[in-house]
Amino acid sequence: MPDLKEFTRVISDHHSSLRYFIQGLGVNASWVDDVAQDAFLVAYRRWEEFDEVENPGAWLRSIARNLVLNETAKRHRRQRLLDENLTTLLLDAENGAPAAGELSDFTHRQDALRQCLGRLTQKARGVIEARYFNDRNSSEIGEEFSMKPVAVRKMLFHARQTLADCLRTRVTDAG
């Protein structure tokens, strides 16, 4: 079993990217931390493998990937996943490593994300804030902004895409 300090350091180094990885597989946002904890529990029990592991992040992702794979077979626990078919397809496409140009961990880019948010139109920023800061759904946001829910959903999607492109540009510029 690992020393608690060492184990805490490993979690500290990898929990953020691991939780992004898990959410990227279509795990319900409210269950992401739970699945991440399960992954660290499996890692704790298989700690004897850790010294042999060249890439701890990839090792943890493979553990998490298989925990999520197990979830797709548990119908009674499907609330952990947004949709088991979707997760199966995302798992199918997942090769364990982020592709070139793929955004995988935003933890250290929060300032950049705030700046990118500032570049959105006022309405798009308001819709994003209502959704992500105030937990409002598209119908509620639509009432506030005099928009049809379907238009709100479209605006949310395109705003996120604009933000992702903005972040990618900043990463490229910084690199």
In the complex, which residues of this chain contact another protein (CB under 8 A)? 1, 4, 7-9, 11-12, 15, 19-20, 23-26, 29, 32-33, 36-37, 40-42, 44-46, 62-63, 65-67, 69-70, 82-86, 88-90, 92-93, 99, 102-104, 106-107, 109-110, 113-114, 128, 131-133, 137-138, 150, 153-154, 156-158, 160-161, 163-164
Question: Residue 23 Cβ, how far from another protein at the closest point, in Å?
Answer: 5
Give 132 or 143: the residue with its C-beta nearer to another protein.
132
- Under DSSP, the state recorded for 80 is G
Return the number of other C-beta atoms located less than 10 Å from residue 77's C-beta.
Answer: 13
Amino acid at 35: V
Question: Residue 46 Cβ, how far from another protein at the closest point, in Å?
Answer: 6
Residue 9 tokens read as: 């350091």
Question: Residue 173 Cβ, how far from another protein at the closest point, in Å?
Answer: 19
Length in residues, the chain: 175
Question: Residue 55 Cβ, how far from another protein at the closest point, in Å?
Answer: 14
Return the number of other C-beta atoms located less than 10 Å from residue 159's C-beta.
Answer: 19
Residue 122 tokens read as: 């006022």
